[in-house]
Chain A
């Protein structure tokens, strides 16, 4: 994901110091039966490979729903075969994708959240955890807003109440973000 950055700044044979920036606030739920909703467009999808592999390895029974997005379906569907395989095996319960440059109108992950608002709210009501990973500039706030809209619409409550609902999710550590 940093190839362009490096190509611009690092000379041939140059040395690049790399470290892992650990995020203790981005972890699978303790309870293996808890459902999770993962929103990871672009390279933001990376941690969710590990999430699913861990849930597979530990035999966690909780449902898993991934929202992925990128520019073009044909070329930018990162780890497509893995997701399809997980879906086929039943590990990945649902897979929603949005490709912004394939259609006249641009579609992003937040649109897919809104389209699936009823099921999404249903999962949250059942105690699902929600994770967002990826772009901090636009995506994270767009998805955040879509989440509030989803809650408002499906619970029939005011925008303010929906904001409180989402805040409570955050306080309960059921809404975690790793954005950059």
Chain B
């Protein structure tokens, strides 16, 4: 079945011998003499939702002091569609202050990241996330990542239905190995049962990460064409009738490697809701079986598609499904990004979209973001929704709570987006220095100063209400999706 002829890469061999993602992670965590984990374990840890990093600002200084780099871990959550409850918010806030760098970061995939967690606190943090009924399984690694979906309750009445489908997709692609529960949650390995199986993924999981996103036209807030598998909800007569299927989006490129390139997803057909899981299973299954496992930089789904051709893909998919996808239904995207500010929906509930620069929620000299939002979470009767533009919707606010929330925002100097320029509202940056190991240039730390300089210029030119998309990224991997600016 597989098209593999070249030797497997070292990363594939590592997965194969990892005993379903266990490796020597337990031993690495127990080694108190270093803040790092063994190199192989660092790779396996991604599947558990965490990356080893180090503070690049301190490298030289510490080297002179005969200290190893200051290692810490990024922890990324799996949080389908970016929705969490106030109780969950409070638990994450507590963990961020106790174990991380007192900040929560909203990612461009609608989830939270913790930064700066030291190895000795890694287990307690991940366990704490699980106590909030959230987890970090497969948030990084060669596996299906956090499923993003349109989640604005004001804009689309079918958002709940779409969210349910996103959740089903997310659950379907969860790994079955108990490694996560044994390592982080002290689950005892069960003796005497048949050897563990990973029925969908197998021992070596996917060749690379895989991203799924669900958009609801006319809003393309989740950048559906940047997904490996993009699903476009088709609504007819106020009813969800199915999804157009877009395949092969992906933003990453490697600097100086012309064989790598960003690619937009292409729409190949339409499926009904009840066909969705089977379609997703086989799309991902084809990539699992035919993706390049010898050259990692060529392993994303987009290259599999371009190497073999879309027609080949469609016929392979039809053969596996036992039916052909219907022709795509008409749709039109006219909006991207978020609409900031307060809105009231037909049921009388209020929703506030707050713009958060670089998605970074922390207390600064100007704004007590973390403290303010913690106090709001304590009284909030709705939920929180993270957007793919790294913004935050305080959703489903009751009438009585609205003035209280407004007062808390004011008290903590949290800016109401109405005061922001269009440029600031839509600006995105990746993390870059000091923690990202791939960064070649500043990004998140550079953005505020850049905005301060650009805004007066735009105002002078009369362009301050014009939507200009500013995306800042510290390397060509494209975490801030610079290649997709419309």
Q: Does A associate with B in a complex? A: yes
CB-based nearest A residue for B119: A73
Instruction: Assess whether A173 is interfacial by the CB under 8 Å rule.
Output: no
Given the known inter-chain contacts A73-B120, A74-B118, please indicate yes or no for A97 contacting B33, CB distance below 8 A: yes
Instruction: Assess whether A95 is interfacial by the CB under 8 Å rule.
Output: yes
Given the known inter-chain contacts A73-B35, A74-B35, A97-B32, please indicate yes or no for A84 contacting B68, CB distance below 8 A: yes
On chain A, the residues within 8 Å of B68 by CB distance are 80-81, 84
CB-based nearest A residue for B58: A74
Within 8 A of A (CB), among B89-133: 118, 120
On chain A, the residues within 8 Å of B35 by CB distance are 73-74
On chain A, the residues within 8 Å of B118 by CB distance are 73-74
Most chain A CB atoms below 10 A, which of B32, B33, B34:
B33
- Min Cβ gap B24→A in Å is 15
Evaluate contact between A81 and B32: CB separation under 8 angstroms.
Answer: no
On chain B, the residues within 8 Å of A83 by CB distance are 33
CB-based nearest B residue for A79: B66
Name the contact of A102 in the complex, choosing from B33, B70, B120 (C-beta under 8 A): B120
A74 to B120, CA, bound (A): 11
A99 to B34, CA, bound (A): 12
A40 to B35, CA, bound (A): 20
Name the contact of A73 in the complex, choosing from B32, B63, B66 (C-beta under 8 A): B32
Given the known inter-chain contacts A83-B33, A95-B33, A97-B32, please indicate yes or no for A77 contacting B67, CB distance below 8 A: yes
On chain A, the residues within 8 Å of B33 by CB distance are 77, 80, 83-84, 87, 95-97
On chain B, the residues within 8 Å of A82 by CB distance are 66
A137 to B23, CA, bound (A): 44
A102 to B121, CA, bound (A): 10
- Min Cβ gap A49→B in Å is 10
A81 to B68, CA, bound (A): 6
Given the known inter-chain contacts A74-B35, A87-B33, A95-B33, please indicate yes or no for A80 contacting B120, CB distance below 8 A: no
Evaluate contact between B66 and A80: CB separation under 8 angstroms.
Answer: yes
- Min Cβ gap B72→A in Å is 9
Residues of B within 8 A of A (CB): 32-35, 63, 66-68, 70, 118, 120
Q: Can you list 20 A-B contacts with CB-CB less than 8 angstroms, sorted by A residue number?
A: A73-B32, A73-B35, A74-B70, A74-B118, A75-B67, A77-B33, A80-B66, A80-B67, A81-B63, A81-B67, A81-B68, A82-B66, A83-B33, A84-B33, A84-B34, A95-B33, A96-B33, A97-B32, A99-B32, A102-B120
